[in-house]
A and B are shown apart, each in its own frame.
Chain A
Amino acid sequence: MTDTLAQFAVEIANGTIRVVDLTHTLDPDFPVIILPPEFGQCARFRMEEISAYDHRGPGWKWHNIHLSEHTGTHFDAPSHWISGREVPNGDVDEISVENFVGPVVAIDCSAEAAKDDDFELTPEIILAWEAQHGRVPADAWVLMRTDWSKRSGAEYLNMQSDGPHSPGPTPEAIRLLVEDRDIRGFGTETVGTDAGQGAHYTPPYPAHYILHGAGKFGLQCLSGLDQLPPTGAVLIATPLKIKGGTGSPLRVLALVPGGET
């Protein structure tokens, strides 16, 4: 085992294994999920100087930051959703840390999502992917690549008068992944694990409802999933240890095979 870890360090150092960043910069202008205005709202990321080598503190610069558990690239714990409220160890501080490092597969929907803002990930697409890359392994992260993270500004939420329009999974697709494949969690490049119009499925917001009800995790606002191979990468996603937290902003990294680059 010592040899494995030593070899791992060597391979990171020599580029055989590459570390890639799947995280958006925490930026005040990065969109957050928008709910009807009478509901409570997700805090935007804000940063205030405490001092900047000035009369408020002559030799140092530091900031106070203010944000939601669900601001920027973030992790959803089971307790985030009403279906997961009774899940044991459902808060971020209670989740066993082995869950934060593990295998990841990426389903590339970028071509379809480029043509259809409301593109749906269906069981058929997952089965077709499996025919090519093998069965989704149990306890793996499944990430839906849409290249949505390359969008910015109004294009990202794509808010219309009938709500946001962005791709996501159907209830059947999430059931297949959770109930038949027993995945660890599901992640997207959009603002939520659900489609922009996810409120109109049964159940509403099926990814949230089904994933968290089964004690699975979510990752959203991921960036640059085009850096991932379909299979064979390892995801490192470690939420902050927030007492009773339902989620957490985090730095999401992946270990991918290096080589040609």
Chain B
Amino acid sequence: MTTPLTRPPRKDPLKRTVSPTQPPVIRSRAALGLTARAAEGRFALQTCAECGAVQYPPRDACSGCLSTDLPWRDIAPTGQLLAETTVQTSVKQYFRERTPWRVGSVQLDAGPVVICHLHGDVAANARVRLRLLLDRAGQGVILALPQERTDHMADDPELRSMSSDPHLRRVLITDARHPFAPDLAAALQTAGATLIFAGEPENWLPNPNRAALEAAGAEILPLDVTDTKSVERMAGEIGGKTDILINTARFMRPGGVLARGGTGFARDEMEVNYLGLMRLAQAFGPAMCGRTADGLNSAVAWVNILSVHARTNTPGFGCFNASQAAAFSLSQSLRAEFRSSGLRVMNVYTGPLEEDWYQPLPPPKVTGPALARSVVSGLRDGLEDVWCGDVAKDFEERFRKNPKVLEIELGQEMGE
């Protein structure tokens, strides 16, 4: 059984913070396919289009028939543990710091034998459930878990090293005025976050979320992402104990280019949605990157909540979506800039939310609890990309089929 984690003692200020190290980074281009699937929490392997053989490790030609047509397919994440060992030391600094480290070989029900990390609760010769996860180098690796849930299984050191679990971590929700901030705080509290900070811009205006946030244990602090000094001030105060940052800051108004008349709202959208993200990253990013190996409550994830229309625009919210596209693009840069530290960028894409600015749109819309569930489960699974709700999932499916067709279809839906 996994030993449950308990809240770590306060940090010894005389000890140097452990510098982040990384598991091996280099992968072949084919093997990056594993990383891409891990980023969205799928268990997929190459499957030969000609002979049907499932491939492992990823390769450029089929191990059976030499065909080069090897599409990635979701396969059953189940198998049988064949052999295991526990590494006691390693020439790799990352593992050396984390031994003992359990690894094993698993015969997949789909065919191949894989070498994988092994959860502590997997019994010898047991049936296992496999997950494709991102390690702290941001690369896809396979972890074998017990078939059934075990107590405190998320606290297993190997699983926790790959997840961004909010349990025992300290979270900053950057905008306490986001309509779903209270739901996020409540879900994080339930997930075991030890401290929840909520940034409140413009405390000279009433904030209807205040009572609900405080009920969820959130501490409300002044933070305005449009004000560099405010962001720097807050990073100075809590940047050293922010383990997960969830950027909920958002400015939106409806309308495409011609409906707007002027660039005033578009400027506000860019100030909050794009430059706000940049200000937060410049102020909080370095401290978080320096704390990714800082014990149990290490810095672990940066979460952006984006409209799925960051990927393909639609004129109903055309100008807002353009700012989302800018933020999405910036998130890719950030992800690459953070990667060497092990700090993970998770983007949560949503369709319309159940709140005032999307009020005229028909359902289905994303509710606060649904968004909070997606954020928490995405963190627990250590994902990079999460699509929350039916609209976002449908959008992504259409985007992957044919982005141009999607663009044309969305352009015809003026209302969205």
A-side interface residues toward B, CB under 8 Å? 28-29, 31, 34, 37-38, 40-41, 44, 46-49, 152-154, 156-157, 159-160
B224 interface hit (Cβ, 8 Å): yes
Question: 23 A-B residue contacts at CB 8 Å?
Answer: A28-B224, A28-B227, A28-B230, A29-B203, A29-B222, A29-B230, A31-B204, A34-B205, A40-B265, A41-B264, A44-B226, A46-B227, A46-B228, A47-B228, A49-B228, A152-B204, A153-B203, A154-B203, A154-B205, A154-B206, A159-B205, A159-B206, A160-B206
How far is it, in angstroms, between the C-alpha of A40 and the C-alpha of B205 when the chains are bound? 17
| Contact A41–B205 (Cβ < 8 Å) | no
How far is it, in angstroms, between the C-alpha of A77 and the C-alpha of B97 when the chains are bound? 69
Q: Given A46-B226, A47-B229, A41 and B206 touching (CB < 8 A)?
A: no
Query: What 3 pairs between A and B have smallest CB-CB spacing?
Result: A31-B204, A28-B227, A153-B204
How far is it, in angstroms, between the C-alpha of A29 and the C-alpha of B223 when the chains are bound? 11
Within 8 A of A (CB), among B201-254: 202-206, 222, 224, 226-230, 253
For B203, the closest partner residue in chain A by CB is A153
How far is it, in angstroms, between the C-alpha of A159 and the C-alpha of B205 when the chains are bound? 7
Residues of chain B within 8 A of A44, CB atoms compared: 202, 226-227
Give the A-B contact count at a CB cut-off of 8 A. Answer: 43
**Interface bracket on B:** 10 to 19
B268 interface hit (Cβ, 8 Å): yes
How far is it, in angstroms, between the C-alpha of A251 and the C-alpha of B247 when the chains are bound? 37
How far is it, in angstroms, between the C-alpha of A258 and the C-alpha of B295 when the chains are bound? 65
How far is it, in angstroms, between the C-alpha of A18 and the C-alpha of B268 when the chains are bound? 42
| Contact B262–A157 (Cβ < 8 Å) | no
For A155, the closest partner residue in chain B by CB is B204
From A28, A38, A153, A159, give the contact of B253 (CB < 8 A). A38
For B205, the closest partner residue in chain A by CB is A159
How far is it, in angstroms, between the C-alpha of A37 and the C-alpha of B230 when the chains are bound? 23
Of the listed residues A29, A40, A41, the one surrounded by the most CB atoms of chain B closer than 10 A to its CB is A29
How far is it, in angstroms, between the C-alpha of A48 and the C-alpha of B206 when the chains are bound? 27
| Contact A29–B204 (Cβ < 8 Å) | yes
How far is it, in angstroms, between the C-alpha of A31 and the C-alpha of B262 when the chains are bound? 24
A-B contact sample (19 more), CB < 8 A, given A29-B203, A159-B205: A28-B224, A29-B202, A29-B204, A31-B202, A31-B205, A37-B253, A40-B265, A44-B202, A44-B226, A44-B227, A46-B228, A152-B204, A154-B203, A154-B206, A156-B204, A157-B204, A157-B205, A159-B206, A160-B206
Residues of chain A within 8 A of B264, CB atoms compared: 40-41
A55 to chain B, nearest CB (A): 14
Residues of chain A within 8 A of B229, CB atoms compared: 28, 47
Residues of chain B within 8 A of A154, CB atoms compared: 203-206
A132 to chain B, nearest CB (A): 36
For A45, the closest partner residue in chain B by CB is B227
How far is it, in angstroms, between the C-alpha of A46 and the C-alpha of B224 when the chains are bound? 11
How far is it, in angstroms, between the C-alpha of A28 and the C-alpha of B205 when the chains are bound? 14
For A44, the closest partner residue in chain B by CB is B226
Residues of chain A within 8 A of B222, CB atoms compared: 29
B324 to chain A, nearest CB (A): 19
B186 to chain A, nearest CB (A): 24
Residues of chain A within 8 A of B205, CB atoms compared: 31, 34, 154, 157, 159
How far is it, in angstroms, between the C-alpha of A40 and the C-alpha of B226 when the chains are bound? 17
For B264, the closest partner residue in chain A by CB is A40
How far is it, in angstroms, between the C-alpha of A138 and the C-alpha of B103 when the chains are bound? 91
For B357, the closest partner residue in chain A by CB is A37
Within 8 A of A (CB), among B252-309: 253, 262, 264-265, 268
How far is it, in angstroms, between the C-alpha of A81 and the C-alpha of B124 when the chains are bound? 81
Q: Given A28-B227, A47-B229, A48-B228, A40 and B262 touching (CB < 8 A)?
A: yes
How far is it, in angstroms, between the C-alpha of A155 and the C-alpha of B86 when the chains are bound? 63
